[in-house]
Structures are given as C-alpha cells and as structure tokens.
Amino acid sequence: MTAAVLQILSPSELLAAVGQLGLVVDDLSSRDQLRAALATSPDDSLTAVFSGYKRERLKELCRALGVDDSGKEKAELIARLLTASPSQQQLGLGLSAASSPATEAKPKRGRPAGIPKEASKKTHITEPSPDELAKQVHEAQAAGKLTREQLERYLWAAADILRGSIDSSDYKSFIFGLLFLKRLSDRFDEECERLRTAGIDPEDRDEHQFFVPPEARWQRLLRATTGLGEVLNIAAAKLEESNASLEGVLGGIDYNDQNKLGDAKQRDTTLHKLIQHFAEIDLRNAALSEPDMLGRAYEYLIEKFADDAGKKGGEFYTPSQVVRLLVELLAPKEGMRICDPTCGSGGMLVQSAHYIVDHGGQAKNFSLYNVEYTATTARAYLDSLNL
C-alpha cells in the first residue's frame, strides 16, 4: 500500500517526487495534496523516484514502517516500501488509519480530482493533543521505536506553549536553547553511566565530549520553581564557561527578557511549561533510532519556524530545494575548503558535505567554514552536529 511510505516522507522529498513525476498540485505547501497526487502514480513511477534515494535512507524508511530492512539491493527495499500494509504504517507512525489522509483521489490541474474545491482547502490530519503526543512518545521510547516524525511533532508542539504570547520569529531561540540544554544534559548522563560502569570518575571533565556543570543539568532545572529565567540564564552561562567550543552559542538567549516573556510570574509559568515539555522526551543516543535523527528533526523545526515567521524566516532558513539546486550547480569535491558567507542555519554546508560523500568522497577530507552575522543562528546548528 503506497500510502504508508508517503506518510513518512519529508516535505522536501514529497515536493521533489511531485516535480520529478510532473504532477500538478494546487498547493505545493500542503503535504496532504502532495501525498494524494503521488498515491495515484503507478508503482513503476514511484520506483524510479525511490531509486534515486541512498540505500541507507531506504533502510530508514523501512524501519520507520516496521518492515524488513535487511539486504543490500535497493530494488528489494523499494518493493517492501511500496507494499507496506496499513498495519505496518500504524506500527511505524503511531497513527490510526482514520487519521491518514485520503489517497484515492486522482490529481487534476488545480486540485486533486474527486475533492471539491472547498473541501480540498479544509482536508487535514487531526493533530493529537499534547497529552496524546506525550503518551505516543513514551510508548515509542519504551519499545525502542521512536520515529523521526514522532520526535519532530513533539518538539514542534513546544512552539504551542509560546505561540500567541511572543512573535513567532523570536520564540525559536528559546525553544532551541532548551533543546540544546536537554540534549547536552541527557548525553552527559549517558556518558556518566558508561564511566561508572567502567570504574571511572564521572565528574572527570576530560572523559566527556561536553562537560555539563551541576547548574545546567536537567534534574537541577526541573527542581527550580521560581526565578526560572535567571536559572536558565545561569545554566547557559555555566555551560559555555565549561566548554570553550560552545562559547557564544547560548549567550544570546535571555530567558529573563520581560519584553518577550512578560513579567516574573508569566515568565515562570511559560518556562515551567517548556521545561516540563522537554522533560518528557529522552534525547540520549541510545533512545534515538537513527544516528542523525536529532539533526534531521532540527532541520524540520527550522523549516517550520521559517514558515511561521514569514518574511523574517529568510534570515535563518533557505528552502532545502533551493539549497540542493545550488549545491548541485557548484558540485563541491573532496579536498575542497567550502565557505558559506551567509550560512544561516548551516544548510548549505550540510548539503555540500552530503553531496561530496554521496559522490564517493571521504567524509573527513574537506573543510567547512561559515560566516554569519547572527551568531546563535549558525553556531548553534553547527555545534549541534557534533553532539
């Protein structure tokens, strides 16, 4: 059943597939319409689309759907993806069949066929409540099957806590700041467990990729009840003091900003909700089903924040399709030094690295450089890749 694999493709993958097959879709920003158009395409057309994917990406999709990802032949992996059953789709996504978009409609110029004009504008997937999202995440993590889509949706739900109280172009900094604090704290705890097992002092700074001081550890943040803005500012400052490579990454975020977060009582209420929200998700390496799962989720959030911010989003995000086109025109090669003078969130550099590796280059035989006026935009993302 083709609809199953279409549910877990990223927006850029859906858009690229529609373009490759020459399908006409009324609203290219609507995942529902992109999926509806692709679902009516013959399997041999979709086979051609998936043939352009890397083998590892095909395996990721198989695992997300709960189907066999063994073997090296791409044709076999693609065949499994195109025949994944509805029950496998539910296993991979944690969604009910009723929440999946209709896939029977055939695309017409202007809108998918069989869907009235007014109805096509209103068709959407019902988003689960925050409690339902948390339950899905807990169950998935307990079973070791947390998918990237579940992670992305849960992280994006953090924006709902801030939405309406501050400008959408501003709240990304607070969310990313807490995401990095939680990720670093969870990785530190994971490393401490390994060190204790090996009989090594877990507080030895030289044994950690990033040393997290007591003031920045998540359990300390959870115990705080008042003055949370100052608590988080101190946590960020202490973290940077303890790790030279993180200097300037979190310092530009002021959790005590009265203009953006309101008075002391409002700040405490909002920040407490955010801390509790991130506390529900485990960001240790062992809890992530894909090696680059958090990095891909970050890219998803950047895209969503850019959509919310409108024109201001162009400061930190360029659509991935545009970036991919530019990289393919530049065709970077192994041994090069690559610099993006307006790097934003680093997408051009990341795509350049992927391009070199995909074309047979060595992952460590090139250099990436960046220039960015807004330090937290570029450095936070580039440092997150090293976690």
Q: What is the pLDDT of residue 95?
A: 35
Same domain for 281 and 149?
yes
Q: With 70 as the cut, is the pLDDT of residue 136 above it?
A: yes
Domain that holds residue 27: 2-122
Tokens 């290219």: give the residue: 28
Q: Which has the higher per-residue pLDDT, 190 or 30?
A: 190
Same domain for 54 and 154?
no
Provide mean pLDDT across the span 175-204.
93
| Domain-embedded: residue 147 | yes
| Domain-embedded: residue 300 | no
Same domain for 135 and 282?
yes
| Domain-embedded: residue 297 | no
Query: Which of the given ranges, 177-181, 230-234, 259-263, has the highest pLDDT on average?
Result: 230-234
Question: Which residue from 103, 80, 82, 84 is spatially nearest to 92, judged by alpha carbons?
Answer: 84
pTM of the full structure = 0.58
Length of the chain: 387
Same domain for 285 and 173?
yes
40-66 burial code (b ≥16 CB/10 A, e <16): bbeeeebbebbeebeeeebbbbbbbbb
Give the Cα separation of 219 and 333 in Å (integer).
Answer: 45
Question: Which residue from 189, 175, 137 is spatially nearest to 298, judged by alpha carbons?
Answer: 175
Same domain for 67 and 203?
no
Question: Could you give the number of structural domains in the chain?
Answer: 3
Q: What is the pLDDT of residue 97?
A: 32
Question: Which residue from 145, 149, 91 is spatially nearest to 289, judged by alpha carbons?
Answer: 145
Same domain for 272 and 182?
yes
Cα separation values, 385 from 194, 214, 299, Å: 22, 24, 11
**Domain end point (choices 94, 122, 150):** 122
| Domain-embedded: residue 311 | no
| Domain-embedded: residue 330 | yes
Burial of 259 (0-12, 13-18, 19+ CB in 10 A): exposed
C-beta separation of 168 from 156 below 8 A: no
Q: With 90 as the cut, is the pLDDT of residue 219 above it?
A: yes
Model confidence over 301-329: pLDDT tens digits?
777 777 765 555 555 567 778 888 999 99
> Any idea which of 195-209, 269-283, 342-356 has the lowest mean pLDDT?
342-356
Q: Which has the higher per-residue pLDDT, 7 or 237?
A: 237
Helix/strand/coil (H, E, C) string of the chain? Answer: CHHHHHCCCCHHHHHHHHHHHCCCCCCCCCHHHHHHHHHCCCHHHHHHHHHCCCHHHHHHHHHHHCCCCCCCCHHHHHHHHHCCCHHHHHHHHCCCHHHCCCCCCCECCCCECCCCHHHHHHCCCCCCCHHHHHHHHHHHHHHCCCCHHHHHHHHHCHHHHHECCECCCCHHHHHHHHHHHHHHHHHHHHHHHHHHHCCCCCCCHHHCCCCCCHHHCHHHHHHCCCCHHHHHHHHHHHHHHHCHHHCCCCCCCCCCCHHHHCCHHHHHHHHHHHHHHHHCCCCCHHHCCCCCHHHHHHHHHHHHHHHHHHHHHHHCCCCHHHHHHHHHHHCCCCCCEEEECCCCCCHHHHHHHHHHHHCCCCCCCCEEEECCCCHHHHHHHHHHCCC
Q: What is the pLDDT of residue 137?
A: 78
Give the Cα separation of 84 and 86 in Å (integer).
Answer: 7
Provide mean pLDDT across the span 338-350.
79
Cα 179 → chain centroid = 11
Burial of 313 (0-12, 13-18, 19+ CB in 10 A): buried
Same domain for 283 and 376?
no
Same domain for 328 and 257?
no
| Domain-embedded: residue 357 | yes
Model confidence over 295-305: pLDDT tens digits?
777 777 777 77
Q: What is the pLDDT of residue 291?
A: 63
Tell me how crowded residue 105 is: count the other CB atoms within 10 A of its CB. 20
| Domain-embedded: residue 310 | no
Say what the alpha-carbon torsion angle 95, 96, 99, 101 is, to the nearest 10 degrees: 90
Same domain for 251 and 350?
no
Q: With 80 as the cut, is the pLDDT of residue 229 above it?
A: yes
Q: Calculate what percentage of the chain has a pLDDT beyond 70.
A: 77
C-beta separation of 317 from 305 below 8 A: yes
